[in-house]
Amino acid sequence: MTVSGSWERAARGAMLLGDGGELSPTIFAEMSALATATGAINLGQGFPDDDGPPEVLAAARQAISDGINQYPPGLGMPDLRLAISEHQQRFYGLAVDPDTEVLVTAGATEALAATILALTEEGDQVVVFEPFYDAYGATAALARTELVTVPLPAPDFRPDLDALRDAVTDRTRLIIVNSPHNPTGTIFDRGTLELIVELAHRHDAIIVTDEVYEHLTFGVPHVPIATLPGARERTVSISSGGKTFSTTGWKIGWITAPHRLLAPIIAVKQYLTYVNGGPFQPAIAVGLRLPDSYFEGAATSLAHRCALLSGGLRSAGFEVLSPQAGYFVIADAAPLGITDGAEFCRQLPARAGVVGVPVTAFVREEHRDGYRSLIRFAFCKREDVLERAASQLATLR
Ligand SMILES: Cc1ncc(COP(=O)(O)O)c(C=O)c1O
């Protein structure tokens, strides 16, 4: 019985892994391999190519020298939890108890996985906005839940509010919000956030909000959904130091949530990684306490780099769908006569020495019409790299 049970599970797992399954190898891996093989400029993956603030890097080196190299506490180091709680108060006026309402995780990715695994049961529905960050679909599949998508149509990627109303039902367990949004760079407006809170109340759903781009906004304020009336008590807020401090390889993320929601997440997290990144935890605490000028400077510098790449894409003949935040810009290749963005991305390294990712990679097969000519390019790169990419792209004309 046990043996056949495990075979059944394995067979179901194979369906997740098979061609087009939620856990099949991604186009990101294919495109990064192509960048390595061809020497093309990799604007496919969202990692910065310069270092984060020197104080933060120095704090990590110091922590290693000071012997902070063993397992940190399961919830995360107390001083980092305090820094996270101070950060929520300082930027958003949210009071968070560092001892009972904060959990440090292995990046936002583990925070998402632990949350989805802890708070859902097989067959529950999980609502996401599509295009969506691939980890949502993969983890929802691991948890044997059913993904329900609300489209964000080009060119402005705002959700249709009637579609949102239809998507949330009494079977909805989680509504996953990602604002600022990857891949589109959209920031949800207040009306959309208010409707999400209203629907969560009506159908007794939990809001999970992924805010990893919270500080990288271009003139449009980021409003955490937990600050809306009636939201905090049913919201799990997730963020990470990777994007804000250009330390994506450190994988220090966190959750803030009411203890009632956090307790089962802590239980699951223990068996995913238990803990991670000992010496990086005090360093991220230093980052979270940097003055406002650091956070403003990071956003301004990124907005400048966005403008640089966007200008290059426009001169190359793309239509640029300008982001309000984040690491990425979406360019429409339709004016260049392109109808299949995935195929175009496979040719782009040879044609222009640049790698991008088709937006269809963030959209389920059956919903891809409307996104087929769109390409996502990362601009979290050094200016000289973006200038080179822009001049190489100009050869496409
Ligand atoms: C929307 C979104 N959520 C989560 C992550 C992953 O964050 P982390 O590296 O902290 O796990 C990313 C990284 O690209 C992202 O874009």
List, for residues 40-66, the tens digit of each pLDDT value: 999 998 899 989 999 999 999 999 999
Ligand 1, atom nearest to 133 Cα = 1
Looking at 245, 271, 290, the residue that finishes a domain is 290
Q: What is the pLDDT of residue 21?
A: 59
Q: What is the pLDDT of residue 25?
A: 63
Ligand 1 centroid distance, CA of 24 (Å): 19
**Does residue 210 form part of some domain?**
yes
Residues 320 and 214 in one domain: no
Residues 276 and 390 in one domain: no
**Does residue 1 form part of some domain?**
no
Residues 267 and 315 in one domain: no
Burial of 2 per CB tally in 10 Å (0-12, 13-18, 19+): exposed
- In CATH, what number is assigned to the domain containing residue 15? 3.90.1150.10
Q: Is residue 13 pLDDT above 80, yes or no?
A: no
Query: Does ligand 1 have an atom closer than 6 angstroms to the CB of 108?
Result: yes
Q: What is the pLDDT of residue 32?
A: 86
Ligand 1, atom nearest to 112 Cα = 4
Residues 47 and 60 in one domain: no
18 — pLDDT class (breaks 50, 70, 90)? very low
Q: Is residue 3 pLDDT above 70, yes or no?
A: no
Q: What is the pLDDT of residue 28?
A: 80
Per DSSP, the residues of 98-149 read TTTSEEEEEHHHHHHHHHHHHH--TT-EEEEEES--HHHHHHHHHTT-EEEE
Q: What is the pLDDT of residue 217?
A: 98
Which pair of tokens denotes residue 4?
A: 């056949």
- In CATH, what number is assigned to the domain containing residue 114? 3.40.640.10
Residues 86 and 234 in one domain: yes
Q: What is the pLDDT of residue 19?
A: 46
Among 104, 133, 186, say which to mutate for ligand 1: greatest number of ligand atoms within 8 Å of CB.
Answer: 133
Query: Does ligand 1 have an atom closer than 6 angstroms to the CB of 109?
Result: yes
Q: What is the pLDDT of residue 300?
A: 97
Among 43, 105, 109, 376, say which to mutate for ligand 1: greatest number of ligand atoms within 8 Å of CB.
Answer: 109
Q: What is the pLDDT of residue 16?
A: 53
Which residue segment(s) compose the domain that 299 sits in? Answer: 10-51+293-396
Query: Does ligand 1 have an atom closer than 6 angstroms to the CB of 210?
Result: yes
CA–CA distances in Å: residue 216 to residues 11, 85, 101, 114, 122: 42, 20, 25, 25, 35
Q: What is the pLDDT of residue 55?
A: 98
- The sheet carrying 374-378 orders its strands as 319-321, 328-332, 374-378, 357-358
Q: What is the mean pLDDT of residues 6-16?
A: 47
Q: Are 241 and 252 in contact (CB under 8 A)?
A: yes
Question: How many domains does the chain divide into?
Answer: 2
Spatial CA neighbour of 49 closest among 392, 394, 396, 381:
381
Identify the H or E element spanning 195: helix 190-202
Looking at 243, 264, 290, the residue that finishes a domain is 290
Among 243, 250, 254, 302, say which to mutate for ligand 1: greatest number of ligand atoms within 8 Å of CB.
Answer: 243
**Does residue 5 form part of some domain?**
no
Query: Does ligand 1 have an atom closer than 6 angstroms to the CB of 240?
Result: yes
Helix (H, G, I), strand (E, B) or coil at 163: helix
Residues 221 and 85 in one domain: yes
Residues 283 and 307 in one domain: no
Q: What angle do CA 158, 154, 214 make, to 5 degrees?
A: 50
Query: Does ligand 1 have an atom closer than 6 angstroms to the CB of 284?
Result: no
Average pLDDT value for the chain = 94
d(CA 278, CA 147): 35
302 — pLDDT class (breaks 50, 70, 90)? very high
Residues 29 and 145 in one domain: no
**Does residue 367 form part of some domain?**
yes
Looking at 232, 264, 290, the residue that finishes a domain is 290
311 — pLDDT class (breaks 50, 70, 90)? very high
Q: Are 28 and 36 in contact (CB under 8 A)?
A: no
Q: Which residues contact 320 (CB under 8 A, 6 or more apart)?
A: 310, 313, 314, 329, 330, 331, 332
Query: Does ligand 1 have an atom closer than 6 angstroms to the CB of 46?
Result: yes
Q: Is residue 27 pLDDT above 80, yes or no?
A: no
Burial of 156 per CB tally in 10 Å (0-12, 13-18, 19+): exposed
The pLDDT tens digits for 231-269 are 999 999 999 999 999 999 999 999 999 999 999 999 999
Q: What is the pLDDT of residue 266?
A: 98
Q: Is residue 15 pLDDT above 60, yes or no?
A: no
**Does residue 3 form part of some domain?**
no
Ligand 1 centroid distance, CA of 67 (Å): 29
Spatial CA neighbour of 235 closest among 85, 101, 38, 395:
101
Residues 39 and 58 in one domain: no
Percent of the chain with pLDDT over 90: 89
Residues 238 and 96 in one domain: yes
Q: What is the mean pLDDT of residues 300-304?
A: 97
Q: Which single residue is written with the structure tokens 């989680």?
A: 174
**Does residue 98 form part of some domain?**
yes
The pLDDT tens digits for 188-209 are 999 999 999 999 999 999 999 9
**Does residue 330 form part of some domain?**
yes
Q: What is the mean pLDDT of residues 77-84?
A: 98
Q: What is the pLDDT of residue 23?
A: 56
Residues 41 and 72 in one domain: no
Across 322-343, b (16+ Cβ under 10 Å) vs e yields ebbbbbbbbbbbeeeebeebbe
Handedness of CA 297, 298, 300, 305 (dihedral sign): positive
Q: Is residue 10 pLDDT above 90, yes or no?
A: no
Give the residue whose CA is nearest to atom 7 of ligand 1.
108
Which pair of tokens denotes residue 357?
A: 């990712």
Kind of pairing between the strands at 41-42 and 328-332: unpaired
Q: What is the mean pLDDT of residues 93-112?
A: 98
Q: What is the pLDDT of residue 215?
A: 98
Please, which residues bridge with residue 319 across strands?
332
Q: What is the pTM of this model?
A: 0.94
Q: What is the pLDDT of residue 30?
A: 86
Q: Which single residue is written with the structure tokens 């999980």?
A: 126
Long-range contacts of 138-142 (CB under 8 A, 24+ apart): 138/22, 138/23, 139/112, 139/113, 140/22, 140/116, 141/16, 141/21, 141/22, 141/23, 142/16, 142/23, 142/113, 142/116, 142/117
Query: Does ligand 1 have an atom closer than 6 angstroms to the CB of 151?
Result: no
**Does residue 4 form part of some domain?**
no
Residues 276 and 315 in one domain: no
